[in-house]
Amino acid sequence: MSGKVRAVTVALAVASVVVLSGACDAQGAGNDKATPRESDTSAVPSATAPSTATSPAPDTTPQVRLLVNFMISGGYAGRRDQLLLYTDGTYTVSTRNKPSSTHRLDAKALGELRADLKNADLGSLPGRIIDEQARDMFQYRLAHEGHVVITDLTRSYPRLDKVVHRLERLVDAG
């Protein structure tokens, strides 16, 4: 490589690092404050004209938070899939075989799922509902409102099974 080409290559590399460093700093990289996910931007209050009132109005914007963390693992092929469902109905599906994808439940489907979660009453269930003798079974891990239940569906808990099947369909469709 000639000296001129090498100098241009080095200059471009340095310029790229400078530009990328500035972009990272502008997006909050390296600071400890959480930044909203792209799909959460609808829940972030937009900038408005300053209020003329003496005290600021309370923030009535609903905060988007995690509603369900659902994982499927195991089986012969070693499945490891995850669904993160947020209170605004957006959910992200991550699997080994495909890039992550983000979707949104409509209000009716989100309401039905919330009702099913309430009916399942995870807090009243054992934390592990697993047949320890079973091999190559899928395990379903469902976390909601501080409760975690892991099941392989070998024992029937109809209200829990209904939620697991509904969430598994979302993963498979994702």
Domain chopping of the chain, boundaries? 3-35, 66-173
- Under the banding of pLDDT at 50, 70 and 90, the label for residue 84 is very high
- Tell me how far apart the alpha carbons of residues 24 and 17 are, in angstroms, rounded to a whole number: 10
Residue 62 has pLDDT above 80, yes or no: no
Give tens-digit pLDDT for 86-145: 999 999 999 988 899 999 999 999 999 999 999 999 999 999 999 998 888 999 999 999
- pLDDT computed for residue 57 by the predictor: 66
Q: Which residues, 6 or more positions from 6, have their beta carbon under 8 angstroms from its beta carbon?
A: none
- pLDDT computed for residue 138 by the predictor: 95
- pLDDT computed for residue 107 by the predictor: 96
Percent helix, strand and coil across the chain, each rounded to 5?
A: 35, 25, 40
Q: With the CA atoms of 30, 34, 36 and 37 taken in that order, what torsion angle do they form, in degrees rounded to the nearest 10?
A: 70
**Is 71 within 8 Å of 23 (Cβ atoms)?**
no
